[in-house]
Amino acid sequence: KRRIQFYETDAQGFMHHSNYFRLFEETRGEFLRSLGLPYSEFRRRGFEVVLIDAYAKYLRPVFYDDLVEVSLNLEDLSRLKFAFGYTVSVNGELKAKGKTTHCVIKNGKPVKLPKELYEKLSSFVGKG
């Protein structure tokens, strides 16, 4: 859970649409860290995890000082890419949902997912 700050809102008082993608990124980064695979470890090994597609559907506004809960699930996994689905809720009410798709590159070119990443992600496909 995380509280929305004033600087994250727009002129209408809603959380600005771009900040949903920040929530997705924070959640994704912490999930990978929980697997023992923070972005810094990929970079140390010469890999980059890159975003190739991003989508968000805004259902209800989120406001300053709301305590949001972002959930992540692994929606798709192949040897070349993976996709996470997200939900953003406040007090159990669904406010937004989204999806991001990623691949891994090395020396500027797409490569198969590193074995350790693929194996760790495999156990999460389709789970909330």
Is residue 114 scored above 80 in pLDDT? yes
> Which among 10, 53, 65, 66 is annotated as catalytic?
10
Say whether 80 sits in a helix, a strand or coil. Answer: coil
C-alpha 10/C-alpha 80 separation (Å) is 37
Whole-number pLDDT of residue 123:
87
pLDDT exceeds 60 at position 128: no
Three-class SS of residue 113?
Answer: coil
Which of 58-67 are b and which e, b meaning 16 or more Cβ less than 10 Å from the residue's Cβ? eeeebeeebe
pLDDT higher than 80, residue 127: no
Amino acid 64: pLDDT: 96
What are the structural domain ranges in the chain? Answer: 2-122
Catalytic status, residue 53? no
Is the pTM for the entire model greater than 0.75? yes
Tell me the CATH number of domain 2-122, given options 2.60.120.10, 3.30.930.10, 3.10.129.10, 3.40.50.300.
3.10.129.10
Does residue 124 have a pLDDT over 60? yes
Q: What is the mean pLDDT of residues 80-97?
A: 98
Cα–Cα dist 56/74, whole Å:
16
